[in-house]
Structure 1
Amino acid sequence: MDRESYLKVKEVIDGKKTADLLLRNCNIVNVFTGEIIHSNLAVCAGHFVFWSETGRGLEEIDVEDKYVVPGLIDAHMHFESTMVQPRDLLAVAVMHGTTTFISDPHEAANVCGIKGVQYILDQTENAPANVFITMPSCVPATPLDDNGSEITAEDMKPFANHPRVLGLAEVMDTEAVINGEEKMFKKLEIFDQHHIIDGHIPSLSGINLMKFAAAGIDTDHESIDFEGALEKARLGIQVLIREGSAAHNVEGLIKGIMNTEIDNCNFSFCTDDRHIEDIVKIGHIDNNVRIAISLGMKPLDAIKIATINTAHRYGLKHLGAIAPGYQADFIIVDDLNKFNVERVFVKGKEIKGKEDFENGPECPEGLKHTVNISPITPDRFRLPIDEEPVHVISIVPRQITTEDVLIRFNPTDNFQSYGDFKKIASVERHKNKGLVGVAIANGYGIQNGAIAISVSHDSHNIIVIGDNDNDMAIAVNEISRLQGGIVIVEKGKVFDSLPLPIMGLISNEKCDKVREKVECLMNKAYEMGVYKDIDPFITLSFLSLPVIPKLRIIPRGLVSIGDYGPELINK
């Protein structure tokens, strides 16, 4: 707190000045002691002043014995994954009680480099929420990627002292860390003292995990089972418990915490990648809290995971709690077990709705028109099969991991989709290199058509899946015409699309229109046979990410992922 604010707060404490806001009859959630304190709560200069049975406020609110909870914190998320502009996402998520967002803009960075990072910072400047970023560490994610830009250690240095840059974003290149490669450690060393270093550790364990921890990695959001999460927590790595649109990890990890009765201080909540329609329907970090409570976790423990645990790990000393001097970010809920957010306050000011988030800066033209490919013909998806077994990408329901399944198909000059075996392809779209990787996937389920999307982590080339080459080509060419988006083709015709002209990742339409279009496209995808236990678009977008086990498709071909990173395989 600066001196000017402190002097105002001090005058209220001394009784010489009336508080800006006084909340009467509160049940205050104390995350330090796990108590509920019944009292009045005073706010001045955007900070909590005291709780007391007395006090006066220029504005007074009778909370009527409801619960006052610290504002929730999302420990790791990507604005780009919502497919709406950052301020539109904030307008929805803040109303669900999330007042602090720690964003990794590596999706934008992989398309547009530093300009993409600056876009996220500019769009969230002066918004009525706390928006921090971590600096993308692996752009590109691996040496095999064909993305739109690169960020070097030198590029990062000017951001190291930025007040809203907390550190280094998810470090994906495990081989570079474990081997102590100079290029990687130049980045780690920029942020090694007074910053956070986020990890990306889906499969490391044992000695290799210890090497990763020794390199200074502070967090990880890729735990899908409690055994792996516990191993990381024991090494001091903060486990960010993810509940996204495709990856659902809260249930397994929360059950593990409760069953083992371990201290939960090394656990936080995050959303990572969540579509806007899911946030509207089921919530944001408040949804993580509700799931935890429904599993039997004590509400105050779930709230600690959603607030103070994250604030402590990320060095946000002014956030995450209700106590004198802390920033007055809080929510009012009627019942801790139901955890329905009724009102939201940021810096002591109530957030009324989307009108509070309007008037953000325009997107620079330089971040548009990023799809650069020549017309695609069906023969580009030709996939010869011989007598040898073929590696098939097997999709895991409710997760973003895949399995590597060896299948022996009948030899052919060009594999034709049948049953649950569909053709999947990744098309390079940044520099018109002409690269098209083709493989076979199962567990998706589409019939009589194809789905293509220009959101494909993390290089964001075009990924397409379908049951015939012609519809796949139509879908990719429509993505090119739109300069990014989601496209569904059925029986040779474009059914509908969602244009994503900002970097091929983000719509320039308002949230409601995007949500309605995504819902329409999602319903059509399920109607065309996509399995209900996967998200049609986020699941597809992750099938190209060569840092998540076990198989992925990139423009260079099929990739197998092990402890030491990705390797191209022949079939």
Structure 2
Amino acid sequence: DRIPADLMDQGSVDYMVREAIRYGIAPVTALRMATLNAAEWFGLHDRGAVAPGRRADLIVFDDLAKLMPEMVFAGGRLVAENGVALEAGFGAVPPIPATVAGSVNIRWEAVDLRVRAESDRIRVIGMIENQLVTEERILPATVRDGLIVADPARDLLKMAVIDRHRDSGAQGVGFIQGIGLRSGALAGTVAHDHHNLVVIGADDDSMLAAARAVAEMGGGLAVANSGEIVASLALPVAGLMSDRAIGDVRAGYDALIAAAAALGSPLHDPFMAMSFMALEVIPKLKLTDQGLVDVEQFKVVPLFVR
């Protein structure tokens, strides 16, 4: 799970190998961990080593300590040199297969973000900075006209997870602290590991605008404010990936982060944080399209505390 900027500025597995060496692992051992060991473990016996009969997927370094790639070969073809991808090394981008296109299927008439006040206390997902685990916070609700609403002054935002795979109409609505938006909303279809549509915001209009924008793109990420879209990035491949060049994707993602920051979020990457707030296998409290899940008890729990 690395964003385009990190991939371009730091690297991918090569970055992890450099980190391993920095922590004292011998360079050859670190390289073997990232290549042959991984290939053998997953039964990929046609790759992972420089040997006859193996795929010619190669990285050429000039220094075993720094391990900065000079040339990259894929299937024997030079695809990158001195940190620059070579267009000649890649064929034309194929059409998105029908099996992974049009992956956002939502019954919009079933989507209702309103939360009627059944109690004056609610369970809230409490984000912990730089961690995937959360807290279960029992907090007083902010009630307006019989409805529980987001309260940005308390960093109390509304969150919804909407099934986008089966057009079932399933949705969970809850509240979260830690995103930091003062106004507007974030939405996206990257949400480990079910990858449903997740939206977090300070008002329902912005939440719906962001959610609908993501659906209209066939999946992706969006920022809305006052019901209007201020930044978006389409991820049309299963709602998770782009078919555009990484530089274009980076520019779009950077614009999303800047838009979220302009709306008050202090997080380095609020979209990455949001993607894990619906992952119901990491404690303590997470939200799914089936409702709030107490991961330690492994059961759905009510929003209201009486």
TM-score for both structures, normalised by structure 2: 0.83
One of 152, 175, 189 as aligned partner of 1:440? 175
Structure 1 CA distance, aligned partners of 2:242 and 2:66? 33
| Distance change in 2, residues 1:570/1:310 (3 Å) | same
More helix by share: 1
Answering whether residue 90 of structure 2 is matched by residue 357 of structure 1, we say yes
Alignment partner, residue 292 of structure 2: 558
What letter corresponds to residue 404 of structure 1 in structure 2? Answer: E
- 1:445–1:376 Cα change, 3 Å: farther
Aligned to 2:83: none
Residue equivalent to 1:46: none
AA aligned to 1:371 is: V
Q: 1:392-415, CA deviations, whole angstroms, 9 ceiling, x for partnerless residues?
A: 22234344x222323231473313
The aligned residue for residue 19 of structure 2 is 291
Structure 2 counterparts to residues 387-398 of structure 1, below 5 A: 387-388=120-121, 390-398=122-130
Structure-to-structure mapping, 1:410-559, within 5 angstroms: 410=141, 412=143, 413-418=147-152, 419-533=154-268, 535-559=269-293
The CA distance in 1 between the partners of 2:266 and 2:55, in whole Å, is 45
Q: 1:314 to 1:500 in 2, by over 3 A?
A: closer
Query: Which residue, out of 371, 378, 386, partners 2:104?
Result: 371
Aligned residues: 294
Q: Name the CA distance, whole Å, in 2 between partners of 1:430 and 1:348.
A: 38
CA distance in 2, matches of 1:504, 1:328: 31
User: What secondary structure does 2:295 align onto?
Assistant: strand
Structure 1 residues 496-534: Cα deviation after superposition (integer angstroms, max 9, x where no partner): 21123333333343333222111111222223222334x
- Cα 1:359–1:402 change in 2 (3 A) is same
DSSP-derived class of the 1:457 partner: coil
* Matched-pair contact (CA < 8 Å) for 1:449–1:489: yes
1:293 alignment partner, SS class = helix
Letter in structure 1 aligned against 2:237: I
* Aligned match of 2:117: 384
Q: Which of 336, 340, 360 is 2:64 aligned to?
A: 336
Partner secondary structure for residue 211 of structure 2: helix
Query: For residues 310-325 of structure 1, what are the structure 2 equivalents within 5 Å?
Result: 310-322=38-50
The equivalent residue for 2:37 is 309
Q: CA deviation at 1:323?
A: 5.6
Greater Cα radius of gyration, structure 1 or 2 = 1
Contact 1:378–1:469 (CA under 8 A) maintained in structure 2: no
Structure 2 unpaired stretches of 5+: 81-85
Cα deviation, 1:96-153, whole Å, max 9, x if unaligned, reads: xxxxxxxxxxxxxxxxxxxxxxxxxxxxxxxxxxxxxxxxxxxxxxxxxxxxxxxxxx
Contact kept in structure 2, 1:382 and 1:414, CA below 8 Å: yes
Q: For residue 10 of structure 2, what is the aligned residue in structure 1? A: 282
Q: Which moved more, 1:279-288 or 1:363-372?
A: 363-372
For 1:169-195, what per-residue CA distance to the aligned partner results, in whole angstroms no more than 9, with x for missing partners? Answer: xxxxxxxxxxxxxxxxxxxxxxxxxxx
Contact 1:559 1:569 in 2 (8 A): yes
The 5-angstrom pairing of residues 74-223 of structure 1 reads none
Once the two structures are TM-superposed, the CA of residue 286 in structure 1 deviates from its matched residue by: 0.8
Identity, in percent, stands at 33
Against the structure 1 CA distance between its residues 335 and 398, is the aligned structure 2 distance closer, same or farther, given a 3 Å change threshold?
A: farther
**Cα distance in 2, alignment partners of residues 321 and 460 from structure 1:** 34
Cα 1:295–1:391 change in 2 (3 A) is: farther
CA-CA distance at 1:439 after TM superposition = 1.1
With the length of structure 1 as denominator, give the TM-score of the two structures: 0.47
Q: CA deviation at 1:339?
A: 1.7
Structure 2 residue matching 1:422: 3-state secondary structure: strand
Question: Aligned partner of 2:139: which letter?
Answer: R
How big is the shift at 1:319? 3.5
CA distance in 2, matches of 1:422, 1:370: 27
Q: Out of 318-327 and 451-460, give the one that drifted further.
A: 318-327
CA RMSD of aligned residues (A): 2.8
> CA 1:539–1:410 in 2, change beyond 3 Å: closer, same or farther?
closer
Deviates more, 1:347-356 or 1:519-528: 347-356
The amino acid across from 1:495 in the alignment is: V
The answer to whether the 8 A contact 1:378-1:470 is kept is: no
For residues 531 and 346 of structure 1, the distance between their equivalents in structure 2, rounded to whole angstroms, comes to 39
Q: Matches of 1:319 and 1:454 in 2, distance apart?
A: 33
Question: Residues 298 and 397 of structure 1: is their aligned pair in 2 closer, same or farther, counting only changes over 3 Å?
Answer: farther
